[in-house]
Amino acid sequence: MGKTKEQAIHQFWSSFGLPAYDENTVDEDAEMPYITYNVSTGSIGDFILLTASLWYRSTSWNAITQKAHDIEEYLTTMSPPAIKIDGGRAYFTKGTPFSQRMAEPGDDLVRRIYLQINAEFLTN
């Protein structure tokens, strides 16, 4: 049996070696680095824009930038990655723009990169 669309989105973001949280359910005691993501779904055959943020605490952009590059490489080399869901598969591809550095007001050590990907839900 496959997963729900929501479970597939969570599995996708959890596959990069960091804790991943629905952006509305981040643990109060969560420690960076981690990923937050939105959950948007649609009907089979729809293209859905998904967004996520990488969150790191550091004086440097090196580690967070490398993680964004790792995710981008995964999306471009897996042509496209797919996760089995109930009644089909969820496919993930790079959005445009793919990544953007974001300032975090009030904390100069927080590094955030905003990511956009596309999800497509298809039947078997």
**What mean pLDDT value characterizes the chain?**
90
Cis peptide before 97 (omega within 30 of 0): yes
Averaged pLDDT for residues 59-86: 90
At position 12, the amino acid (one-letter code) is: F
* pLDDT > 60? residue 1: no
CB within 8 A of 6, min separation 6: which ones? 39, 41
Whether the per-residue pLDDT at 76 is higher than 70: the answer is: yes
pTM for the model? 0.90
Which domain CATH number covers 19? 3.30.2000.20
Cβ(51)–Cβ(13) under 8 Å? no
At 70, list the tokens: 């790792």
- In total, how many domains does the chain have? 1
Range(s) of the domain holding residue 34: 5-123
pLDDT at 82: 82
CA dist 92 and 84 (Å) reads 12
